[in-house]
Structure 1
Amino acid sequence: MQDIPDKIHFIGIGGAGMSGLARVLLDLGFDVRGSDLNSSQVTERLKAAGATVFEGHHGHNVTGAGLVVVSTAISGDNPELRVATESGIPVIHRADMLGLLMERQKGLAVAGAHGKTTTTAMLALVMEKCHQDPTILIGGELTDVGGNAKLGRGKYLVAEADESDRSFLKLYPYLAIVTNIEDDHLDHYGSVDEIIKSFRYFLQKIPADGAGVLCFDDTNVRDVAPECGGAVITYALDNPEADYVLRDIKLEPGRSAGEVYFRGQRLGLIELVVPGRHNLANALAVVAACLKLGLDFNEIAASLKEFRGAGRRYQYHGCVKGVTVVDDYAHHPTEIAATLRAARQVHAGRVVAVFQPHRYTRTSLLHKRFGPCFQDADLVIINEIYSAGEKPIEGVSAQLIVDAAREFKGDDIVFLPTAGDTIEYLLNNDQEGDLILTMGAGDVWKTGLALLDRLKEN
C-alpha cells in the first residue's frame, strides 16, 4: 500500500461509506479526524474509538491534516474543501481511499443496482464465520461486526462498490459480485447504456486469476460478462444455463430455502431467516464467491443460516398493540416490489407501505415505473419527496408517483406529505395485525419509530 499521511481528515465523516473507512484507518493507527453537520450515533462511536470529530463544516477544521477525504456529496464550495485546496493539502475521493486499502488485501467487491448492502453483509458474515478474518466495509450496519466496518488481519477485504457516481471504477477487486444492472442514477449517467458501459470497465479491472460472480437472471449482466478480466462464474434462480442454480425454492414465514446445484450436481441446502426470493439470490452469489475462494459448502450454508440482515434492510423495529413496524431502504421500483413480496411471504395480516420518494431527479425519471410496484401492499401511504440536497424541479412532486400508483391500486393509495400526517392517519386507521413497512433512502425510518412511541402512549 502506498504511503498515506498520518493525519487524515474526512469531510462528512458520519456518512455510511466515510465512517467505515475512518474506523478502519483508526484501527490501523492513523490520526483520524473529521466533520459532519450534526452529531449522530455514528460520530459518537468514532469519537469513542479515538477520532476527533467536529460538528459543522469550518475551514479551520482541516488545519494540520496531511490528507483530506471527500465523497461525491461534498460540493466544491464546502469551506473545508476550499481551505484544503487553497492550502495545498491533498484531497482524494473516498473510493480512492478504499482502493488504497484494497492494496493491503485481496478485494472482494459487491456491485449492482440493488442488493449491494445485503449481499456484502452476507459475504462479510460468511467470511468471518469461516475464520477468514476479513477487513469489512459495508454501507449498512452489521450486528455481527458491531457496526459497518472492521479491520481484519486475513488476506481479504470485503467491500460494497458504489456505482452511483462511477466511483467504483477506482477499485481493482480480486473478485466482484454483480447482482444486477438497472436504470438507477440516471441523473449522473444520462442513460442505461452509460451505466452498462461503466460495469464493463469495472469487470475489466479484475485480474486474470480473479473472478466475476455474475447474476445470469439479469440481461444487462449477461451482456457485460465477456468483459470480465478473470474467470466468469454465473448464478441464477431462473436461468438454468448458469453455473450455480437454486431449485426447490421454499418461501415460508421465518424461512427461505433452496437446493444449490453446480453444473447439475447437487451441493446441498441453504436456508435463510431473512425473507424474500431476492435474498436467496443474494445468498447464492455468496455461495458461488466463497466456493471460488476455497471455503467449505457446509460451513458457508451454516453461516448463511445465522444471517440476520443489515441495517435498514427489512429491519424490525418493534411491535406494539399488535402493530409491527419494519423499515427498509428500498427506494427504486424494483426494490420496493421485492421488499413487498418478501413482506407478503412472512406476514399474514395487512401490509401497509409508507413510502418516501428519494430525490427529484429519480422521481422525474422513474415515476411511471413506480405505478405497479406496490401491488403486494394492502394500503400505500406516499410522503412528499426527500430531496437529499437536490434543488426542486418544476412540476416534480410526489403527486407524480401517487397518480401512477392509483392507476393500479386506486383508493388504496393515500398521499400524506409529512411524517406527522402519516402518524396521525395510522393511529386512527391501524388494525391489530398490521405490518407497517416504511421504505425509502431518506429519513422515513424515523416515522416508524415515532409511530411505535405514540402507540405506547395511547
Structure 2
Amino acid sequence: MMNNPLPIRDLLVPGKRAHLAGIGGVSMCPLAEVLHGMGLQIQGSDMNESDTVEHLRSLGISVAVGHNADNLGDCDLVIRSAAIHDGNPEIAGAVARGIPVYERAQAWGAIMQHYPNALCVSGTHGKTTTTSMCTHIFMAAQADPTVMIGGTLPLLRSGYRVGKGDTIILESCEYCNSFLSFFPTVAVILNVEPDHLDFFKDLQDIEHSFHKFAALVPPAGSVIVNADNPGAMESVEGLPHPVFTFGLDHPADCTAANLTEEDGRPVFDIFIRGKKYAHVTLHVYGRHNVLNALAAAAAAHALGLPGRAVEEGLAAFAGAGRRFEHKGTYHGAELYDDYAHHPDELHALLTTARELGCKRLVVAFQPHTYSRTAKLFDRFVEELKLPDVTILAEIFAAREQNTLGISSADLCRNIPGAVYCSTLEKVTEQLRQVAQPGDLILTVGAGDIYRAGEALLRQEK
C-alpha cells in the first residue's frame, strides 16, 4: 500500500485527472466509467487491445497499450488493479514523482460512502450470480441501484450500472484483502473455502479476513451468512452484533420450504423467521443456486424490499454471463460456458450438469493460476474425473509466472482418459472430434477457455 497523504475521496472530485493502471480489467472498466460520469478526467493503460479498451476510447477515455511511466502525463492520482504490482513502471514512476497511488478497492470504497445502503456480496464462490440476483430484485423494486458485478449481466448488457437510488450493490472480493477497503451496510458471506493461497496462508487466515470484513458493518447494518457453510460461520464467530443466517441443511433465519423442481429448475417458498416472504421459481439450475437465491432474498429483506420484488426479480433472472451460459449447438451437442475455477465450483457445476439428462458430459477445463492448481491439485483431479470426457487446456497464468513448473499435463496424467491440449486451437479441434448428438459440452475456467467453444460454434456455420 502506498503512503498517501490524502484519503482517496478527497481526490475523487470533478476536474481531477485519474490514471487507471489495468483499465481494461473486469472491475476497472466500470470504475473508469463511474469516475468519468462523476466529472473526473480519466485515462489509463492496459497490456492488450480489447473490446473493453475500444469501448472506453469511444467514451473519450484515452487508453495506452503497454505500461510505461510516460503514460502518466499530468495525472493527479493513480488507481491500480490487484494485478498491478509495485515494480510496474507506472507505479514506480508515480512514486518517484510523488503522485499518490491507490488500490481499485479504495476507489470503490470511497464511491460507496455516498450511498445510504451499500450491499456487498462476498464469498469464495457464487458472488457474481448472487450479486446479479440482487440486481434483478432491486431493479424489480424500481430502486434504481448502482451496481458493480464481476461479470456481464444480460439485464444490464454489461457488468455495472450507475443509478440514482440510495443503494449500491457490489461484488466484493477477498483477494489481497480488497474488500477491507469497503464500507458495507449489508455484508453477505456466501461461503469461505481455501482459495487465493498465493496471498492467504491457510483457511484460518481467510476466515480472519472475512471476520474483519463483517466487522466493518455498522451496528444498524446487517451481516448475512450461510448457515450451511462451516467456514462462513466460523468467520462471524465473536462479532459484536448478531448475524442473520440463510441455509437449507441447518436452522436459519431465511430458508426454503416446499422445494420441488419444474423441468429441473428449483421452485420453492422463502420463509424468514417462520413467515412466508416469497414464492420463487428459478430459471437457473442447482441446489447452489437455491442458496444464492436465499442470500439475495435475505439481503432484500434486510433493506426493506417486499417479497413481490424477490419473486419478480428472480423469475426474470436467467443467469449471468459465463455462469452456465448457453452458447449454442454444435452437431447436435449443446455447448455451455462457465467461469468455475475452484474445485467447489467445479463440483456444483458438474453435478448440476449431470442432472440435466445429457447423453455424455464433455468438459474442456482451463485451470486458473499456477498457485491455485498446485495447492488444490488433488481436489481438481477428483472433480475432473466426473465428466465422461475431460479435455485439459494449459493453465491460464493470469497475474503469475510459472515458478512452480506445473502444467495441466500433470493433472491429465492423474485423470484416466483425459486429454491434454497445449493451445486453445487444439482444444477446439479435440472438441470437434469428440462431439456427438446429445452431448452437453462445457468450456470451464476463469481465463479465455470460452474462445475454444466460440471457435467450435463458428465451424457449425
Give the TM-score normalised by structure 1. 0.94
1:361 to 348, 371, 384: 371
1:98 to 91, 108, 114: 108
1:227 offset after TM fit, Å? 4.0
1:187-227 deviations in Å (ceiling 9; x for gaps): 10111110011111111110000001100100111122244
Q: Does 1:199 align with 2:204?
A: no
Structure 1 residue aligned with 2:4: none
Structure 2 residue aligned with 1:4: 12
Structure 1 residue aligned with 2:430: 425
Give the 3-state SS of the residue equivalent to 2:350 in structure 1.
helix
Q: Does 1:391 align with 2:396?
A: no
Q: Give me the identity figure in percent.
A: 37
CA contact (8 A) 1:357 1:363 kept: yes
Distance 2:242 2:144 in 1: 24
CA contact (8 A) 1:251 1:277 kept: no
Counterpart of 1:354, as a letter, is A
Give the 3-state SS of the residue equivalent to 1:166 in structure 2.
helix
Distance 1:359 1:155 in 2: 38
- Structure 1 or 2: more helix by fraction: 1
CA contact (8 A) 1:205 1:229 kept: no
Structure 1 residue aligned with 2:454: 449
Structure 1 residue aligned with 2:352: 342
1:223-255 deviations in Å (ceiling 9; x for gaps): 22244455411000211x111111333345462
Structure 1 residue aligned with 2:192: 181
Give the 3-state SS of the residue equivalent to 1:258 in structure 2.
strand
Q: Does 1:236 align with 2:244?
A: no
Structure 1 residue aligned with 2:179: 168
Structure 2 residue aligned with 1:21: 31
CA contact (8 A) 2:29 2:56 kept: yes
CA contact (8 A) 1:212 1:228 kept: no
Q: Does 1:212 align with 2:223?
A: yes
1:273-309 deviations in Å (ceiling 9; x for gaps): 1212111111110101101111110221111110122
1:439 to 435, 439, 444: 444
CA contact (8 A) 2:394 2:422 kept: yes
1:48 to 58, 61, 85: 58
1:62-115 deviations in Å (ceiling 9; x for gaps): 111111100121122322222211111111000000110011012110111000
Q: Does 1:117 align with 2:139?
A: no
CA contact (8 A) 2:278 2:310 kept: no
Q: Does 1:108 align with 2:113?
A: no
Give the 3-state SS of the residue equivalent to 1:207 in structure 2.
coil
Structure 2 residue aligned with 1:326: 336
Taking a change above 3 Å as real, the CA distance of residues 170 and 394 of structure 1, as seen in their structure-2 partners, is closer
Taking a change above 3 Å as real, the CA distance of residues 97 and 250 of structure 1, as seen in their structure-2 partners, is same
1:152 to 159, 163, 181: 163
Distance 1:249 1:316 in 2: 25
Counterpart of 1:390, as a letter, is E
1:377 offset after TM fit, Å? 2.0
Deviating beyond 6 angstroms after TM superposition, the runs of 4 or more aligned structure 1 residues are none
Taking a change above 3 Å as real, the CA distance of residues 170 and 328 of structure 1, as seen in their structure-2 partners, is same
Structure 2 residue aligned with 1:126: 137
CA contact (8 A) 1:206 1:228 kept: no
Give the 3-state SS of the residue equivalent to 2:259 in structure 1.
strand
1:137 offset after TM fit, Å? 0.8
Gaps of 5+ in 2: 1-8
Give the 3-state SS of the residue equivalent to 1:45 in structure 2.
helix
CA contact (8 A) 2:19 2:43 kept: yes
1:260 to 267, 270, 273: 270
1:54 offset after TM fit, Å? 1.8
Q: Does 1:315 align with 2:325?
A: yes
CA contact (8 A) 1:325 1:437 kept: yes
1:346 offset after TM fit, Å? 3.2
Structure 2 residue aligned with 1:39: 49
CA contact (8 A) 2:322 2:337 kept: yes
CA contact (8 A) 1:343 1:351 kept: yes
Structure 2 residue aligned with 1:141: 152
Aligned-CA RMSD value: 1.7
Taking a change above 3 Å as real, the CA distance of residues 292 and 52 of structure 1, as seen in their structure-2 partners, is same
Counterpart of 2:124, as a letter, is A
Distance 1:93 1:394 in 2: 28
Taking a change above 3 Å as real, the CA distance of residues 253 and 375 of structure 1, as seen in their structure-2 partners, is farther
Counterpart of 1:4, as a letter, is L
Distance 2:354 2:278 in 1: 27
1:395 offset after TM fit, Å? 4.7
CA contact (8 A) 1:252 1:346 kept: no
Taking a change above 3 Å as real, the CA distance of residues 171 and 400 of structure 1, as seen in their structure-2 partners, is same
Structure 2 residue aligned with 1:273: 283
Distance 1:365 1:252 in 2: 39
Structure 2 residue aligned with 1:78: 88
CA contact (8 A) 2:370 2:404 kept: no
Distance 1:394 1:139 in 2: 28
After superposition, residues 365-384 of structure 1 pair within 5 angstroms as 365-374=375-384, 376-384=386-394
CA contact (8 A) 1:210 1:230 kept: no
Q: Does 1:245 align with 2:255?
A: yes
Taking a change above 3 Å as real, the CA distance of residues 231 and 134 of structure 1, as seen in their structure-2 partners, is farther
Distance 1:273 1:68 in 2: 42
User: How many residues were matched structurally?
Assistant: 450
Counterpart of 2:455, as a letter, is A
CA contact (8 A) 2:366 2:447 kept: yes
Taking a change above 3 Å as real, the CA distance of residues 229 and 329 of structure 1, as seen in their structure-2 partners, is farther
Taking a change above 3 Å as real, the CA distance of residues 189 and 386 of structure 1, as seen in their structure-2 partners, is same
